[in-house]
Amino acid sequence: MKIGFIGLGIMGKPMVRNLLKAGHEVVVYDIIKKNVEISVSDGARAAESSKAIAEECNLIITMLPNSPHVKTVVMGENGVLEGAKPGTILVDMSSIAPLVSQEVEKACAEKGVKMLDAPVSGGEPKAIDGTLSIMVGGDKAVFDEVYDVLMCMGSSVVLCGDIGAGNTTKLANQVIVALNIAAVSEAFMLSTMAKVDPLKVFDAIRGGLAGSTVMDAKVPMITEGNFKPGFKIDLHIKDLNNALETGHSVGAPLPLTAVVMEMLQNLHASGCGQDDHSAIAKFYEKLSGVKIRK
């Protein structure tokens, strides 16, 4: 199948690579030319604009930073809707506000374009492995059409409800991840300051009720002082901002989310915005003057 792919950042490039490995023809576009060159070297073909991709591809995937970027790429000048034919399917795999997904889907429907919102979880490692968790919102018939393509990039693809449900599910995921990293950081700071080896604590509790995928992924990074981004602090700020705005719109109380948001904002102000979100541990290290290290 010929697939258009727009957005070749940390996540997009390995996702394209997995589509190519599965035998699909992929036409790519990104405003950063170096990213395009990398995907072309992997076997993709470059297009000159989002509109150009839509003119030749009946299935288009977008993987972009936030709501405004999706609106520009889809609805803006030289955007997807300027080139798309009726019957085209757009799968937006960006993590954006659910209400924006609904707004973009409405504009697509007016042009006869079908849309799903399908954000992902798993960060760069799972994008590379092709084992992302993909949360989808939209029409089931459209979902069924693209399911096999999505499975080239993920190990779990779940239809969560109507358009916007994918991004609502992703916001729930991001709340849990952020709070989990904060809890891990707090607990391992406690053990470190009590002079108990954090790796011994990790080995002792990871198989019990406190164990989690987050703990398994982030404790080794924290104890090694390795904050190379798989998912950046600044991107998690974006997601929690969308979660808080969505919570306000539906009346959902999110007090713990608000607290962790303040931690992330403090880290951003300290120059850590491009670090991995495991750098929430740095917030505790700054408060205590002690580093959580093996």
Do 76 and 123 reside in the same domain of the chain? yes
Beta strand 132-137 with 120-121 is antiparallel
**Spans of the chain, pLDDT less than 70:** none
For the chain, give percent helix, strand, coil, nearest 5.
55, 15, 30
Residue that is last in its domain, among 146, 163, 180: 163
In which region does residue 184 sit, left (phi positive, over 0), alpha (psi from -120 to 50) or beta (all else)? alpha
Residues recognised as catalytic: 170
What pLDDT sits at residue 37? 98
Q: What is the pTM of this model?
A: 0.91
CB-hemisphere CA count at 13 Å for 195? 0
What pLDDT sits at residue 294? 83
Which CATH number covers residue 12?
Answer: 3.40.50.720
What pLDDT sits at residue 228? 94
pLDDT tens digit sequence for 211-232:
999 999 999 999 999 999 988 9
What pLDDT sits at residue 230? 83
| Residue 255 within any structural domain of the chain | yes
Which CATH number covers residue 236?
Answer: 1.10.1040.10
What pLDDT sits at residue 123? 87
